[in-house]
Amino acid sequence: MRWTFKPKPNEDITKKLAAELSVNKKLATVLVQRGITSFQEAKDFFRPELEKLHDPYLMKDMDVAVSRIEKAIKNNENILVYGDYDVDGTTSVSLVYSFLKTYYDNLATYIPDRYNEGYGISYQGIDFADDNDFSLIIALDCGIKAIDKVKYASTKGIDFIICDHHKPGDTIPNAIAVLNPKRTDCNYPYKELCGCGVGFKLIQALGDNRNLTINDTIPYLDLVATAIAADIVPMTGENRILAYHGLKVINNVPRNGIKALIHQLDKEELTITDVVFIIAPRINAAGRIKHGNFAVELLTEMDFESAKGVASSIEKLNSERKELDQHITKSALYQIEDNNETDTFSTVVYNENWHKGVIGIVASRLIETYYRPTIVFTKSGEKLAASARSVKGFDVYNAIEECSEFIEQFGGHKYAAGLTILPENYTNFKLKFEEVVKRTIDKELLIPEVVIDTEIELEDITPKFFRILKQMAPFGPQNMNPIFKSSSLRDTGYGKQVGADKSHLKITVSSNTCVYKFNAIGFGLGDKISAIQNEFDMTYQLAENVWNGKTSIQLMIKDIL
């Protein structure tokens, strides 16, 4: 792994902040690196306030969207709340539907079938709306490129309001309203909302229009926090405020569906990491294995006993998803080795029998072994569908765009995208994608990186130090759990490989300058056992470990040299 230090911040600013906050210089360094340079900025960061959310009407077309929805309600029109089948999409649909449902009944939800309709707005969905007399569709987490679909809907007298956060193309769909902070003509101050975040701004505006306060929207924040965590958007600005308060809702008064998922777990309090790795995969499993409707059903269920039944069914789907994921990952790794493609600059693999619902997960798994931009294809009807994932620092969306001559349809983000191609274009696409990645990627990006906040001594790790670090949560992109480096450490002599396959490393570290010893665990670092026989340097994060009723600080090892 590459060890990279974040740039050292201005010394005078760091000293001033340390004095103002009565914290040590190492903590002040971590804060200044995140753009926190004053007492007030620190207060805003550590105590996020809902009142600091931006006025939703600053978003372009928001006034038009609210006006059209209110007109639909006044005229007793049927409204279809439409969204993608992933976590961001299903939480968005559940959010807007459950909010509108509090004062309007002529509503329904629609999630496209991953296998028969594919991503985003579909002609089948529009036909469904037409057949069932829906005159307004609110599309969430999708639609920014659905120019032809929106045009098709208009021929049937169906209006669209699009709430999306994906990168727009050169042309915006001719919908009644297009809410997307990434529009070049949108001056909304915060650009990094997820789809559910844009949906939240819509209900915030609708609430304002009905004389509701921000407190009236708090019950919906469990959905927003789940989407923010799952969609890996920056944990800054409004996202941090929404996730911070959403986690409180999840842990104190979650909706029945989330409560039912938590009910199956042996956890007292969930962190944002728990949401990413425990809650989100289960919500995702519905759309991956069966249908995203199950996720919406779970998240909008008003009866807890019924929600427990749906959650139990989704748990079985998640178990099936895990088995498929493991099987397909193994198959893809064999394919890479058989084709002698272990030293290429990209990974592109295909098997017509791979399950479409897990190819995105498989792409991420392959990056764990071969650290490079990865695309996994499978058969989808008469075409090939793929999920793409990238390595830190490389824009896979732009790389795919350079291969557009071979692509039928694509969309996504810098680090994750989806696409469809014709079977006869697979080989040419694969060759072109490899050529683009080889030409454009900085070769350093093909080596995993540990980004270190600052170097500390073991004696810096005090209860106060750790208590303040915990208050920096929730963590996420641009506000990651800090990584520290300590030098000249020693193992007390009891270090060992642990786990069924001895793949993890468990040690107790000490140094010449510190009287304390700290337990440390390195998942997947069992082969580093030889590196701890002498003095070593270590990068790590701090975590809380509870064992036999005792709580202690544990070091989560990232790498050892």
pLDDT for residue 266 is more than 80: no
Describe the chain by its helix, strand, coil percentages, rounded to 5: 45, 20, 35
Each residue's pLDDT tens digit, 69-101: 999 999 999 999 999 999 999 999 999 999 999
Task: Look at the domain 56-313 and name its fold.
Answer: inorganic pyrophosphatase (n-terminal core) (3.90.1640)
CATH number for the domain whose boundaries are 339-446: 3.10.310.30
Calculate what percentage of the chain has a pLDDT beyond 70: 100
Reply yes or no on whether the pLDDT at 119 is more than 90: no
Report domain extents, the chain: 2-47+449-560, 56-313, 339-446
Work out the average pLDDT over 2-27: 96
For 392-417, what is each residue's pLDDT tens digit?
999 999 999 999 999 998 888 889 99
pLDDT of the residue at 21: 95
CA distance 533 to 555: 18
Region of residue 488 (phi > 0: left; psi between -120 and 50: alpha; otherwise: beta): left
Q: In CATH terms, are 56-313 and 339-446 the same topology?
A: no
Greatest mean pLDDT among 118-122, 370-374, 377-381: 370-374
CATH topology of domain 2-47+449-560: OB fold (Dihydrolipoamide Acetyltransferase, E2P) (2.40.50)
> Residue ranges of the alpha helices (H) in 277-420?
280-285, 293-300, 304-338, 359-369, 396-401
Mean pLDDT of the 349-360 span = 95
> For residue range 196-233, what is the model confidence (pLDDT) as tens digits?
999 999 999 999 999 999 999 999 999 999 999 999 89
Q: Note the pLDDT of residue 480.
A: 95
What global pTM score does this model have?
A: 0.91
Q: Is 7 exposed, middle or buried (0-12, 13-18, 19+ CB in 10 A)?
A: exposed
Q: What is the pLDDT of residue 232?
A: 87
The string of pLDDT tens digits covering residues 485-505 is 999 999 998 899 999 999 999
Task: Tell me the average pLDDT of the chain.
Answer: 95
pLDDT over threshold 80, residue 44? yes
Other Cβ atoms less than 10 A from the Cβ of 191: the count is: 14
Q: Is the dihedral of CA 527, 532, 534, 537 positive or negative?
A: positive
Backbone torsions φ then ψ of 534, nearest 5 degrees: -120, -175
Q: What is the pLDDT of residues 426-482, one digit of tens each?
A: 999 999 999 999 999 999 999 999 999 999 999 999 999 999 999 999 999 999 999
Mean pLDDT, to the nearest integer, of 342-365?
A: 96
pLDDT at 308 (0 to 100): 94
Could you tell me the pLDDT band of residue 253, with boundaries at 50, 70 and 90? very high
Q: Are 373 and 394 in contact (CB under 8 A)?
A: yes
- Both tokens of 304, joined, read 């807890």
pLDDT at 267: 78
Q: What is the average per-residue pLDDT within 308-329?
A: 94
